[in-house]
Amino acid sequence: MPTLIKLADGHMSLVEDPFTAVADDDSVPHGDVIVSLKRFQAEGEALLAEGRLLGVRVEPDEDVEALAYDLPRLAVIALAFPKFRDGRAYSSARLLRERLGFTGELRAVGDVLREQAQFMVRTGFDAFEPADGATPEDWAKAAARYRHVYQRAVDGRAPAFVERQEA
Amino acid sequence: MYQYDTLDKAFVADRSAEFREQVSRRLAGDLTEEQFQPLRLMNGLYLQLHAYMLRVAIPYGSLDSRQMRKLAEIARTYDKGYGHFTTRTNIQFHWIKLKDAPDILDALASVDMHGIQTSGNCIRNTTADPYSGATDEELDDARVWAEAIRQWSSLHPEFSFLPRKFKIAITAAAKDRTAAKAHDIGLMIRRGRDGELGFEVIVGGGMGRTPYVGPTIREFLPVNRLFSYLEAILRVYNRHGRRDNKYKARIKILVSALGSAEFARQVEEEWSKIGPEADLPDTELARIRAAFAPKAFEALPTRSDVFEAAKASNPAFARFARNNLRAHKKPGYAIVEISLKEIGATPGDATADQMDVVADLAERYGQDDIRVTHEQNLVLPHVKLDDLPAVHAALATAGLATPNVNLITDIIACPGLDYCALANARAIPIAQDIAERFADQDRAEAIGELKIKISGCINACGHHHVGHIGVLGVDKKGEEFYQLTLGGSGAEDATIGQMLGPALPADRVAPAIDTLVEVYLRERQDGERFLDTFRRTGVAPFKEAVYADAH
């Protein structure tokens, strides 16, 4: 089971992952699962009817808008980073939080390194499966590296132009 | 000039600390080169043919004497005593040791400088009109917007891992000195019918292997809506730009594939969902604007007797005045261009001593203001006419008074195969050859404005596509050859140059350019620049002359 770091109330901690990530050609086990968007679109109703918590894994070339009406029923959306350099999931995360109002867990999976932590936290991710062995302490440190930020984002941090007005 | 406040300073210091930690992880072997590469690139540290190269950001090409002196100190301490000003208005140090890099970043941070976002697939340094605040051609001070863009784009949470690098240019003058139409986004400030200021928004220009003059996707964007609109453009690009092939990943490819009308439609639709809360508050814009408020100019007569007398008595000064001075908005002042194209030298290079001289002159005579142009020259934007003879004398002593701005020897060249691992051919020796051939200043002046731009490979860092004469280095079976293009322009009349004919070996490039110039001098009608004559006659007479002996 990969390490799962969760962000809650400004605190990073290591948690037991209650979800099983299920590949498309594997059968779905009992309990809480994360399935692909394609599988969700085919089997979502049936999976939810079994009274479990459900998560959906969205690849970067898939539009999160496709989930707009299902969001209240989803516990987790896992946004995939096939490569460190692929930044599409930051837009997906921001849209899910700001435009589509998703309030469940937003999880970063794939090529997830501590250098991305600050961007992920700012765009609304609150769960991380680091691929570089980072501990919650490493992750928290990387996410809080910069004392100031210049933009409004999902995390609600006051950007420099607001801090300056309040100073 | 904008001065970094405690927040800006903390930001740069945090970056420097982060990088020091990453370098120590690399030197200790905790990071492989493969893992370290994207991290060092985020700080402008490249591994080149012979050494590391550090690219330092000079935001919108604007710096003061304190910063220029620090660059000189770095050149002396950590490099071989010089630096290279680039077509991105940044500076590169080509002989850096990895272990020194954190100390260099600390030295830079001490004067509010850094290498952030000088590399990587993020929003790079913004190009702004180097005459901002000094020319009466401008409708607004482009630096205000460029500084706001610097802040907005710094570690942008959503747009730091784009499909490819992203470059913005901004100008507020009708005469474009930024190559705006060859940028990912070009912003040209316009006045609307009711007098309100807005941007003409151009998206998808670029050079590289598929050059485009960018199309306008919006004729008029009210200035206060800039940041929500940029967010819309970047979001459409981040989501839909190609990531499967790095040569097809720039926004120009997306705009071209969709068509500019469809691209514009997608941006407008996204923009309508974003809304004005993504715009920068007027209070912050006002704060930034105040930092660029003009310093007190003296009330001076239009005519300076000192200046006129010096021109009359000193032909070298008169020549410098003809070629390197531009009109200033205030009477009694001039804009001074300092050419970094001394005949026989490397275009864009400046020694540490030269940097110190420019810093001293800026401090003493130029309101402590220095600009870097995308044509790899420096500018002192505010010098009194009375002081010009003294400024010229000091520049001449330092080898900085070459009177060739916009002339045939004012050549842009990338570092080429002398430094760069990507290059197919050398660029610098070709530039030197051409410059030496046209070293006679009278002849160069008789030829007039002629922009030669040289790239050592198809990535086009030397902007050859938009040279009046472009020179592109290519590799033919292990030998360096050069492809000539004619009729390009990076200015307001932006055009991609047209291929002249088969590539030439290195020793035939300068003679071929001589031939092109002779054809121009023969064909030109009154007042025509090389570019104008070419546009009228087409490529035929030029082609015929250069390849005559091949028939």
The reply to whether B496 falls in a domain is yes
The CATH number of the domain where B82 resides is what? 3.90.480.20
Is B463 within 8 Å of B87 (Cβ atoms)? yes
Is A24 within 8 Å of A12 (Cβ atoms)? no
Q: What is the chain A residue with the closest CA to B278?
A: A152
User: Does B458 share its domain with B371?
Assistant: no
Q: What is the chain A residue with the closest CA to B234?
A: A91
With contacts defined as CB-CB under 8 Å, which chain A residues touch B281? 161
User: What per-residue confidence (pLDDT) applies to A4?
Assistant: 96
Q: What is the DSSP letter of B453?
A: E
The reply to whether B300 falls in a domain is no
Q: B522: how many CB neighbours lie within 10 A of its CB?
A: 10
Nearest CA-CA partner of B307 in B296, B317, B299, B297: B317
With CB atoms and an 8 Å threshold, state whether A91 touches B14: no
Is pLDDT at B237 greater than 90 in this prediction?
A: yes
Question: Which of A91, A118, A165 lies at the smallest CB-CB distance from B158?
Answer: A91
Rounded mean pLDDT of B261-287?
A: 97
Is pLDDT at A2 greater than 80 in this prediction?
A: no
Is pLDDT at B266 greater than 80 in this prediction?
A: yes
Rounded mean pLDDT of A74-93?
A: 96
Is pLDDT at B151 greater than 70 in this prediction?
A: yes
- State the Cα–Cα distance between residues B250 and B159, nearest whole angstrom: 14
Check CB contact of A82 with chain B, cutoff 8 Å. no
Q: Total structural domains in chain B? A: 4
The reply to whether B129 falls in a domain is no
Token digits of residue B159: 């747009």
Our CA-based measurement puts residue A113 at a distance from the nearest CA of chain B, in whole angstroms, of: 10
Question: Which of B161, B235, B281 lies at the smallest CB-CB distance from A85?
Answer: B161
Task: Map tokens 């290591």 to a residue.
Answer: A14
Give the angle subtended at the CA of B398 by the CAs of B396 and B404, to the nearest 5°: 50
Our CA-based measurement puts residue B238 at a distance from the nearest CA of chain A, in whole angstroms, of: 6
Question: Which of B7, B156, B161 lies at the smallest CB-CB distance from A86?
Answer: B161
User: Does B425 share its domain with B543?
Assistant: yes
Chain B interface residues facing chain A, Cβ-Cβ under 8 Å? 5, 7-8, 10-11, 14-15, 18, 38-39, 121, 151-152, 154-162, 235, 238-239, 243, 273, 277-278, 280-281, 283-284, 287
Our CA-based measurement puts residue B497 at a distance from the nearest CA of chain A, in whole angstroms, of: 34
User: Does B82 share its domain with B50?
Assistant: yes
User: Does B146 share its domain with B237?
Assistant: yes
CA dihedral B361, B365, B370, B372 (to 10 degrees): -70
Q: What is the pLDDT of residues B308-342, one digit of tens each?
A: 999 999 999 999 999 999 999 999 999 999 999 99
User: Does B142 share its domain with B246?
Assistant: yes
**Alpha-carbon A156 to chain mean position:** 17
Is A149 within 8 Å of B156 (Cβ atoms)? no
Check CB contact of A84 with chain B, cutoff 8 Å. yes
Is B113 within 8 Å of B13 (Cβ atoms)? no
Q: What is the chain B residue with the closest CA to A98?
A: B274
Q: What is the DSSP letter of B280?
A: P
Q: Structural domain of residue B49, as residue ranges?
A: 6-109
The reply to whether B506 falls in a domain is yes
Is pLDDT at A1 greater than 60 in this prediction?
A: no
End-to-end CA distance of chain A: 46
The reply to whether B116 falls in a domain is no
Domain end: B333, B364, B397, which one?
A: B397
Q: What is the chain B residue with the closest CA to A120?
A: B157
Task: Map tokens 């090389």 to a residue.
Answer: B530
User: Does B287 share its domain with B318?
Assistant: no
Q: What is the pLDDT of residues B65-80, one digit of tens each?
A: 999 999 999 999 999 9
Task: Map tokens 């809506």 to a residue.
Answer: B225
User: Does B153 share its domain with B83?
Assistant: no
Q: A with B: how many residue pairs have Cβ under 8 Å apart? A: 90
The CATH number of the domain where B286 resides is what? 3.30.413.10
Rounded mean pLDDT of B258-273?
A: 98
Domain end: B261, B291, B321, which one?
A: B291
User: What domains lie within chain A, and their CATH numbers?
Assistant: 4-166 (3.20.20)
User: What per-residue confidence (pLDDT) applies to B550?
Assistant: 59
User: Does B269 share its domain with B138?
Assistant: yes
**Residue environment code for A119-153, b if the CB has 16+ CB neighbours within 10 A, otherwise e:** bbbbbbbbbbbbbeebebebbbbbbebbebbbbbb
Question: Which of A87, A147, A153 lies at the smallest CB-CB distance from B162?
Answer: A87
Nearest CA-CA partner of B531 in B449, B474, B454: B449
Our CA-based measurement puts residue A84 at a distance from the nearest CA of chain B, in whole angstroms, of: 8
Q: What is the chain B residue with the closest CA to A145?
A: B14
Q: What is the pLDDT of residues A11-40, one digit of tens each?
A: 999 999 999 999 999 999 999 999 999 999
The reply to whether B384 falls in a domain is yes
The reply to whether B210 falls in a domain is yes
User: Does B316 share its domain with B285?
Assistant: no
Q: For the residues of B431-442, what is the DSSP string, one character each? A: HHHHHHHT--HH
Our CA-based measurement puts residue B196 at a distance from the nearest CA of chain A, in whole angstroms, of: 24
User: Does B147 share its domain with B262?
Assistant: yes
User: Does B525 share its domain with B433?
Assistant: yes
Check CB contact of A147 with chain B, cutoff 8 Å. yes
**Strands (DSSP E) along B260-348, which ranges?**
325-327, 333-338
Nearest CA-CA partner of A77 in A43, A38, A36, A112: A36
Nearest CA-CA partner of B391 in B500, B317, B486, B302: B317
Q: What is the pLDDT of residues B403-449, one digit of tens each?
A: 999 999 999 999 899 888 889 999 999 999 999 999 999 999 999 99
| Residue to substitute from B4, B161, B226, interface A, most A β-carbons within 10 A | B161
Q: B274: how many CB neighbours lie within 10 A of its CB?
A: 18
User: Does B88 share its domain with B202?
Assistant: no
Nearest CA-CA partner of B215 in B207, B206, B225: B206
| Secondary structure (3-state) at B472 | strand
With contacts defined as CB-CB under 8 Å, which chain B residues touch A123? 157-158
SS3 content of chain A, % helix, strand, coil (to 5): 35, 20, 45
Estimate the crossing angle of helix B352-365 against helix B65-78, to 10 degrees.
170
Question: Which of A92, A148, A154 lies at the smallest CB-CB distance from B7?
Answer: A148
With a pLDDT cut of 90, the percent of chain B lying above it is 90
Nearest CA-CA partner of B90 in B488, B461, B466, B471: B461
Is B483 within 8 Å of B525 (Cβ atoms)? no
Q: Give the list of residues 6+ apart from residue B114 with CB closer than 8 angstroms, or none.
A: B12, B15, B16, B43, B56, B57, B105, B108
The reply to whether B119 falls in a domain is no
Question: Which of A84, A146, A154 lies at the smallest CB-CB distance from B11?
Answer: A146
Question: Which of B157, B280, B283 lies at the smallest CB-CB distance from A123?
Answer: B157
Q: Which amino acid is at B473?
A: G
Domain end: B237, B269, B291, which one?
A: B291
Is B191 within 8 Å of B159 (Cβ atoms)? no
